[in-house]
């Protein structure tokens, strides 16, 4: 009987502590690489709001110009940079006059600087909360600027 029990212990299958520690270390390394990349892609996806709304504002400005023969200046709306959390849209600057209202809440604040024959649309946001604003612009000629890589 003793011999049988001794043979059973020698034939046990499983992982050693060292093997488990190596697996945990590998998972930790993969997580350290994957999580920052995921957060960066998440921030990039939120920039699509700015691009979409700038396009909508441009369309509204062109329609307003067709009726009024001038572009309209719209002050920053919402009145301050929403930051990391979405905020309800509040038109503080005349976007309703040109017929623009975004669908739902926004991450960015928007403004239009206009003259009789030109305009510049600006979207400003700070999605990562580091006090560095990401600024997108678009003018009447279709010239667009976007933030530097890594600024959101």
Structure tokens of 11? 């034939």
Q: What is the pLDDT of residues 43-58, one digit of tens each?
A: 778 888 889 999 999 9
CA distance 76 to 95: 9
pLDDT in tens, 92-144: 889 999 999 998 899 899 999 999 889 999 998 888 777 777 889 999 998 98
pTM, whole model, 2 decimals?
A: 0.73
Q: How far apart are the first and last CA of the chain?
A: 71
The answer to whether the beta carbons of residues 77 and 95 sit under 8 Å apart is yes
């Amino acid at each position: 009987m003793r011999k049988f029990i001794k043979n059973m212990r020698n034939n046990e299958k499983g992982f050693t502590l060292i093997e488990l520690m190596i697996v945990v270390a590998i998972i930790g390394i993969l997580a350290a690489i994957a999580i920052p990349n995921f957060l960066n892609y998440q921030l990039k996806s939120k920039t699509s709001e700015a691009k979409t709304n700038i396009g909508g504002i441009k369309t509204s400005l062109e329609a307003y110009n067709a009726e009024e023969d001038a572009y309209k200046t719209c002050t920053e709306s919402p009145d301050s940079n929403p930051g990391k959390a979405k905020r309800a849209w509040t038109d503080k600057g005349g976007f309703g006059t040109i017929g623009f209202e975004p669908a739902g809440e926004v991450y960015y604040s928007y403004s239009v600087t206009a003259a009789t024959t030109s305009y510049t649309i600006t979207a400003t946001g700070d999605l990562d909360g580091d006090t560095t604003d990401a600024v997108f612009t678009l003018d009447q000629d279709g010239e667009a600027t976007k933030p530097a890589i890594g600024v959101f």
